[in-house]
Amino acid sequence: MNPAGASIAAILEKSPLDPLETRILLTHALKLSRVQLITKSEYTLATEEAQHLSALFQRRINGEPIAYIVGEREFYGLSFHVTPDVLIPRPETELLVELADERLPKNGSLLDMGTGSGAIAVAIAHMRADAAITALDVSNAALNIARRNAARHGMQITFLQSDWYGTLTDRKFDVIVANPPYIVESDVHLSQGDLRFEPIDALTDHADGLSALRAIIAGAPHHLVPGGWLLMEHGYDQAPEVRNLLAAQGFCKVRSWQDLAGIERATGGMTPLQAAVMHAGERNIPVL
């Protein structure tokens, strides 16, 4: 449709896009709130506004994700700036935030590996003002976005440019969380839908989907305090293998958790229980 000379109500009625997507693009293009979209439903778009909206519509028709078009995505009740330099935060990843919060002791420390937009780190920092949060990413472009999101929400987070544990030396944490690239190189979904527009290196390890997870698990014991937790997001069918990798590395209390769709989406484990018992009294470590 051509929105030139059309009212907001007419555009909502005749849009080629999903109604929700149409409303999102309208509020973005016209700088209106959702309420204003209703109260000003008879407002007629000026030529420049119509041209801008048409361009946004075409980008979405071409398959570009809404989040990249408007530059925003909500995650754990917070709004995050996103660009094609970072993955779009997804609801299923909120599970990692909840698991980390439950296992992070008072005044504890947490490391977010492969932070991307900073969504996980910022969400946890927003919930836990007592915690010391560190976030790393190999991409400087991603770190710039993560820093912007942390500043936007007034969160104090230490950001590091690092290829996994490369620059951490001997630093240790109470909790490590990671949402690494875990899609198998040959997965057809990489050439479909929103994934076509997202950074490929943040989606796939260009191998069997487990190489990043293996590296994170192998290095975690050196960077976790006794009784510390490693929590990772992974693919829908990878939970059994990730549990095996954790067990082989000496983790205990290994288990997986389901997302809202009933898929085993996250798996984690704790550093050896014997060490945790020895130090639990002095570190207030929750054993869950």
Q: Which domain holds residue 39?
A: 8-62
Burial of 163 (0-12, 13-18, 19+ CB in 10 A): exposed
Tell me whether residue 31 is in a domain. yes
Do 102 and 19 fall into the same domain? no
Q: What is each CA distance from 202 to 65, 106, 138, 184, 264, in whole angstroms?
A: 16, 31, 10, 12, 20
Tell me whether residue 72 is in a domain. no
In degrees, rounded to 5, the angle at the alpha carbon of residue 73 between the alpha carbons of residues 203 and 162 is 45
**Which structure tokens are listed for 239?**
């939970």
Tell me whether residue 145 is in a domain. yes
Q: Is the Cβ–Cβ distance between 173 and 141 less than 8 Å? A: no
Determine the longest span between alpha carbons in the chain, in angstroms: 73
Do 212 and 278 fall into the same domain? yes
Tell me whether residue 38 is in a domain. yes
Q: What is the 3-state secondary structure (H, E, C) of 220-254?
A: HHHHEEEEEEEEEECCCCCHHHHHHHHHHCCCEEE
pLDDT of residue 64: 95
Please name the residue that has the structure tokens 């030139």: 4
Tell me whether residue 110 is in a domain. yes
Least confident of 125-139, 162-176, 266-280: 266-280
Do 153 and 47 fall into the same domain? no
> CA-CA distance, 149 to 76, in Å (whole number)?
13
Do 37 and 155 fall into the same domain? no
Give 64-95 pLDDT, tens digit per residue.
999 999 999 999 999 999 999 999 999 999 99
Global pTM? 0.89
Coil, strand or helix at 79: strand
Tell me whether residue 121 is in a domain. yes
Tell me whether residue 33 is in a domain. yes
Do 133 and 24 fall into the same domain? no
> CA-CA distance, 137 to 146, in Å (whole number)?
9
Q: Where are the alpha helices (DSSP H) in the chain?
A: 8-14, 19-30, 34-39, 47-61, 66-70, 94-103, 119-127, 140-152, 200-203, 211-223, 239-248, 273-283
Mean pLDDT rounded to a whole number for the chain: 92
Tell me whether residue 152 is in a domain. yes
- What would you report as the CA-atom Rg of the chain, rounded to the nearest whole angstrom? 21
Do 34 and 104 fall into the same domain? no
Tally of structural domains, the chain = 2
Residue 32 CB contacts under 8 Å (≥ 6 apart), including other chains: 26, 40
Do 96 and 203 fall into the same domain? yes
Residue 165, pLDDT > 50, answer: yes
> CA-CA distance, 199 to 88, in Å (whole number)?
10
CATH number for the domain that contains residue 164: 3.40.50.150
Give 219-248 pLDDT, tens digit per residue.
999 999 999 999 999 999 999 999 999 999
